[in-house]
Amino acid sequence: MKMLGVCDDQNTCDKCGKKNLKRTIALQVDDAGNVEYWGSDCAARVLYGKSTKSGKDAALRFAYACGRVQKLRDKGMSAKDIANQIWNIYGFLTGHNGDDVYIGFNNATHKV
């Protein structure tokens, strides 16, 4: 599962069916590239095993950071500069290798 970013125009959680959400988190759920939109409660349960306010906030921050990586890539920014910007804005431990950007989150390193 790969977190892609935050979506404001999708307001239903594909995981539990809850409707009228302010935002959802876009997740690539398999290697085929299928995307689902989950609410922050469901995303926090997957990341932390339970849904708490701090877990939901962290899941949203991570999703915003992942979305920003893609926006900066689209602007042609280097992986090194993207990693530095994510560190400066979100405070996540970051790294890069070639064109790949990595973000440290929840005791794991995620390729974004």
Is the model's pLDDT at 16 over the cut of 80? yes
Helix/strand/coil for 94: strand
In the DSSP assignment, the letter for residue 99 is T
Mean pLDDT score across all residues of the chain: 88
Q: What is the pLDDT of residues 26-55, one digit of tens each?
A: 999 888 989 999 998 898 888 777 778 888
d(CA 27, CA 7): 10
The whole-number pLDDT of residue 68 equals: 93
Q: How many CB atoms lie within 10 A of CB 4?
A: 17
Contacts of 48 by beta carbon, 8 Å cutoff, 6+ apart: 55, 58, 59, 106
Closest CA to 29 of 40, 14, 44: 14
Q: What is the pTM of this model?
A: 0.79
What's the whole-number mean pLDDT along residues 96-102? 91
What is the separation, in whole angstroms, between the first and last Cα of the chain?
11
Is the model's pLDDT at 103 over the cut of 90? no
Q: What is the pLDDT of residues 59-83, one digit of tens each?
A: 888 889 989 999 999 999 999 999 9
The whole-number pLDDT of residue 31 equals: 86
